[in-house]
Amino acid sequence: MDDKTWERYGALGGVWFVVLSVIGGILAGAPPARSDAPAEIIRYYTDNDSGLQLGAFLGALGVIGLVWWFGTLWRAMANAEPGSPRLGVIALIGFILSGVAATAAFTIDAGTAAAIDVAGEGSKIFFQISNISFGFSAIGDVILTAAVGGLILRTGFLPKWVGYLSYVVATVSLIAAIGIATDASFFSFFTLLGAALWGIWIVVIAILNYQKATATA
């Protein structure tokens, strides 16, 4: 396959990631609130042990597509910012931080579910660590989406409305990240909202980059 073909399929890797993430989230079940008693946390891990482990596996498969998606996005950003790709590098750092923190959170949840008979009431500690890790993932999303949005509005390498959407995702993710410092359920809502908007953002960019690569093939 030529480079443009790889670029097209790479862009669609974002769709692959979002679809697998949605399926994994459904399998994992609805999580309890961080302020819930240890007994509720134990019940969540016990009732959803297989779902959490399978969901983590699907998430791992989804990351393969997400990396290819970012490769296509990186190419587009580099072309729009020749020379020293400052915003492209910032976006890469945010992408890595988001991915590492989210992977750690999924790993903690899957591992706790697999060993819930040993973890017992200590599972609440792992549940809190997992949620805080998701908060750091949200910070990575802020860095990534703000950098992409800034370059879009400056150069127009994607439609301007995608740049504004990027800033909306960055704002919601920043509010969600406050959950690092508190277990108030208010911020848990923004974590879910931020994840949903981030998935939509990925699919939108995937489709637009696919269309652009197809048009120039």
pLDDT tens for each residue of 54-110: 999 999 999 999 999 999 999 999 999 988 889 999 999 999 999 999 999 999 999
Q: Tell me which residue range forms the domain holding 143.
A: 3-216
* Better-predicted residue by pLDDT, 4 or 144: 144
DSSP 181: T
In which element (H, E) is residue 7 found?
helix 3-28
CB 140 within 8 A of CB 157: no
- At 214, the pLDDT band (50, 70, 90 cuts) reads confident
Domain total in the chain = 1
| Average pLDDT value for residue range 26-41 | 92
d(CA 50, CA 27): 8
Q: How many CB atoms lie within 10 A of CB 202?
A: 23
What pLDDT score does 84 carry? 81
Task: Tell me the pLDDT tens digit for each residue of 171-203.
Answer: 999 999 999 998 888 888 899 999 999 999 999
The pair of three-digit structure tokens given for residue 89, joined into one six-digit string: 């590098």
d(CA 200, CA 206): 10
Q: Give percent of the chain with pLDDT exceeding 70.
A: 98
What pLDDT score does 217 carry? 61
What pLDDT score does 184 carry? 83
What pLDDT score does 1 carry? 57
Torsion 56-58-64-70 (CA) sign:
negative
CA 116 to chain centre: 26
Helix, strand, coil percent values for the chain (each to nearest 5): 90, 0, 10
CB 158 within 8 A of CB 208: yes
Q: What residue spans of 29-122 are helical by DSSP H?
A: 38-47, 49-80, 86-114, 116-119
d(CA 81, CA 210): 20
What pLDDT score does 212 carry? 87
Q: Give percent of the chain with pLDDT exceeding 90.
A: 81
DSSP 31: P
Q: How far is CA 101 from CA 49, 56, 69, 129, in A?
A: 21, 13, 19, 11
Residue 139 has pLDDT above 60, yes or no: yes
